[in-house]
Amino acid sequence: MHSTTRRNFLKQTSFLAATSLLPSFSVTENSEEKKLHTRKPIVISSSNGIPAITKAMEIIQQGGDALGAVIAGVNIVEDDPNDTSVGLGGLPNENGIVELDAAVMHGPSHRAGAVASLRNIKNPSKVARLVLERTDHILLVGEGALNFAKAHGFQEENLLTERARQEWLQWKENMSTNDDWLPQHSIEEKNIGGNFAPYYRNYGTIHCSALDSFGNLSCVTTTSGLAYKISGRVGDSPIIGAGLYLDNEVGSAGSTGRGESNLFNCSSVMVVEWMRQGKSPEEACMRACQRIVDRNKEQRLLDEKGRYKHQVKFYAINKKGEYGSAGILKGGVFTLHDGKEAKNYDCAYLYD
């Protein structure tokens, strides 16, 4: 696999318009059939995914199903109070309340489950799996998602760590010089509270896709969403087809970054469809980036050079075990476990 720049990408292929989605089919295999279909497993994730892919691969190599593996992997990140983008310790909404989103997809059964705006439960990926397994629905939100989690034995806890609270407070104090929230200051200072740049609002998420030893795919995306978002905002992460998508006959894909871009463009399902057409995982990810750029009409989302200024990254694997990743902006990193070791790799990109 090699990294692709926008210049090389545009030389290699012209960007295609959205294609009509083709039907997909579930795969059902009994235990004897599974024994005959052993594959070399592979796990891909976002830049914060080394612990996740390590755990997922361990479970897969012990004969585990990919869905349980990727969920167990991202649970490590959800439980980490030092990762401010996911689960416990995630940065809160504008009111200082942590709201979590997650979705899972299981290749062999072609089922999905998701939760959004879930409060007080640090492992939304586990709740999303229960939505898949124990309901006739796909997405539960807000209070309903919380009540469902509690009905299944999840315990409520305060997810706002002291570190996240301090970062939220700094953001609030430094938003504007014209409101009533002030950071610490001396009586000589002027224009207090306008130092917004150090408290940039991050788009933090972890995605993880895996191909297990039986040749089956599963994936998960989990996040605390855009830092300091409007209460109730839901990004792409829990939306099937936007923040993640898979077809067990083709491949799996997911994303991190500006969720609104993926919601509008149904990016992850497009990555899978491009792989269905024979595109490599990396090229499919590049096409998703280009689709976002080409479809944007809002000037406020462009930089001083007239280019789309927000980062969106994609991660994909296909049924053959090939992998790839791409982002709109240079500097993206993804993680991969090939069955031997977990490593970081640079993403392909459109812009320097």
List Cβ neighbours of 90 (8 Å cut-off, separation of 6 or more): 83, 84, 98, 100, 159, 164, 204, 223, 224, 225
Rg (CA), the chain: 20
pLDDT of the residue at 22: 34
pLDDT of the residue at 38: 65
**CA 125/CA 340 separation, integer angstroms:** 26
pLDDT of the residue at 21: 37
Q: Which residues of 104-127 are buried (b: 16+ CB within 10 A; e: fewer)?
A: bbbbbbbbbbbbbbbbbbbbbbbb
For this structure, is 205 an active site residue?
A: yes
List Cβ neighbours of 319 (8 Å cut-off, separation of 6 or more): 211, 215, 217, 248, 249, 250, 251
**CA 269/CA 246 separation, integer angstroms:** 7
Q: How far apart are the first and last CA of the chain?
A: 20
Residue 46: its H or E element: strand 42-46
**CA 105/CA 115 separation, integer angstroms:** 13
Three-state DSSP class for residue 244 = strand
pLDDT of the residue at 187: 72
Q: Where does 18-161 have alpha helices with state H? A: 31-35, 50-61, 66-78, 124-134, 142-151
HSE at residue 1, side-chain half, CA atoms within 13 A, is 20
Three-state DSSP class for residue 151 = helix
φ, ψ of residue 164 to 5 degrees: the values are: -65, -40
Active-site choice (161, 205, 223, 256): 205
Please, what is the Cα angle at 268 between 262 and 271, to 5 degrees?
A: 125
Q: In 3D, which of 215, 220, 274, 253 has the Cα closest to residue 112?
A: 220
pLDDT of the residue at 16: 40
Q: pTM (2 decimals)?
A: 0.86
Q: In 3D, which of 100, 140, 105 has the Cα closest to residue 124?
A: 100
Contact 249, 27 (CB under 8 A): yes
pLDDT of the residue at 262: 94
Flag residues of the chain having pLDDT under 70.
1-38, 177-181, 190-203
pLDDT of the residue at 3: 56
> Hey, where are the domains in the chain?
6-14+32-160+202-351
pLDDT of the residue at 195: 58
Please, what is the Cα angle at 169 between 164 and 173, to 5 degrees?
A: 155
CATH code that applies to domain 6-14+32-160+202-351 = 3.60.20.30
